[in-house]
Structure 1
């Protein structure tokens, strides 16, 4: 077989199984959601729960930290579509999505694990921030900056404090609030904060 034929044969081999990949990610999240920390989590346990061989996992991830980060990224609800017509409406959409993430039981326990083990696994936390946290912060920041440019928000708005306030209000209410749905809570937060953010 020629070199070209050999390369073609390798490329035409069995493609990655999306079903297996999803099973691996779900198994990882299930084990963490059941209370298994990163130190206790093993490729063997994940493979057993997912019903795949260890080699199937190692073909996709070089170590369990990378696998955990990808699993955490999958856990988040998809970024909601932003219309870009109204700062208020766009903030409500974003906070409703954040609320959905925060009240999901498995999501909450996995996020606590990721943040709680940050000292032991700083590289994992850095990847987690880059893949999971920062995209949403950037989306919120873009909404605020657009509002400052259009006059919907104060031109001298401290965006970092506004971001912390929006995030903190959602998290606080999900943990200690009255149990409102996201569609009820998000407009309450946005309308109250907008009264202090507008000129």
Structure 2
């Protein structure tokens, strides 16, 4: 069942603003609520408070159902109209809040596939060491079936651009001969991300070792290297 989008009371008779949702950029370096109408200058402090309040509610209240524009406004100390001037609906706000949780992957330097993959893997793991980030992310994943439209958009706008960075490195490695010519890029992508994500969320085994990301890449490279 798709989520019901909220809209400001003033729009009730005339249709919701921005029917297509906010046009967000990728998760790498994206600024919350990038598109806005002309008018009063935006307050970076208000933007930050709104995004942080959304993240807190996602983590504390068990996901999307626990977030409302009213609750975000109250926690951020702003009016609902302040939020609606920046985001057309709850979905757009949540997408930007989730994007803000993820540090951008480092741009591939190109010196070697191994070095690029290690840098990406280390950035991926660093995203998973913050308890609030993990609680927020897994609360969203737990309710994915109830909010298919939001999850599809989250995957498209935030997750896929990050996966594309890994795909780029792997395909470049195939082209340069560093990796096997018959490499299955998609399977290799999931081997990397799956190992890192599952280790980060594993309970009872302690924190992720500092060298875990490097070990994952080096172990994988023994099987996919072109030499």
User: TM (normalized to structure 2)?
Assistant: 0.78
Shift of 1:172: 2.3
Select which of 183, 189, 213 maps to 1:157: 183
- Answer yes or no: is 1:97 the counterpart of 2:123: yes
Greater shift after overlay, 59-68 or 173-182? 173-182
Q: Which residue of 1 aligns with 2:22?
A: none
Which structure exhibits the higher relative contact order, with contacts defined as CA atoms closer than 8 Å and separated by 6 or more residues? 2
Q: Which residue of 2 aligns with 1:131?
A: 157
Q: Using the alignment, how far apart are the partners of 1:65 and 1:17 within structure 2?
A: 21
SS in 2 for 1:147: helix
Q: Using the alignment, how far apart are the partners of 1:58 and 1:111 within structure 2?
A: 24
- The 5 A counterparts of 1:68-83 are 68-83=94-109
Runs of 4+ in 1 over 6 A off after TM superposition: none
Select which of 72, 83, 86 maps to 1:60: 86
- Answer yes or no: is 1:186 the counterpart of 2:216: no
Q: Which residue of 1 aligns with 2:138?
A: 112
Q: Which protein is richer in helix relative to its size?
A: 1
Shift of 1:78: 2.3
Is the Cα–Cα contact under 8 Å of residues 163 and 189 in structure 2 kept in the other structure?
A: yes
Shift of 1:86: 0.7
Q: Which has the larger radius of gyration?
A: 1
Shift of 1:121: 0.9
Q: Using the alignment, how far apart are the partners of 2:106 and 2:177 within structure 1?
A: 24
Is the Cα–Cα contact under 8 Å of residues 105 and 124 in structure 2 kept in the other structure?
A: no
SS in 2 for 1:103: coil
- Answer yes or no: is 1:26 the counterpart of 2:56: no
Structure 1 runs not aligned, ≥5 long: 1-9
Shift of 1:178: 5.0
Q: Using the alignment, how far apart are the partners of 2:75 and 2:218 within structure 1?
A: 45
**How big is each residue's C-alpha offset from its partner over 1:16-39, in whole Å with a ceiling of 9 and x where there is no partner?**
112111110010001111134312
**How big is each residue's C-alpha offset from its partner over 1:116-163, in whole Å with a ceiling of 9 and x where there is no partner?**
211111111011101221011000000000000001100110011100
**How big is each residue's C-alpha offset from its partner over 1:13-69, in whole Å with a ceiling of 9 and x where there is no partner?**
421112111110010001111134312311111001111000000111121111101
Greater shift after overlay, 157-166 or 37-46? 37-46
User: TM (normalized to structure 1)?
Assistant: 0.89
Is the Cα–Cα contact under 8 Å of residues 61 and 67 in structure 2 kept in the other structure?
A: no
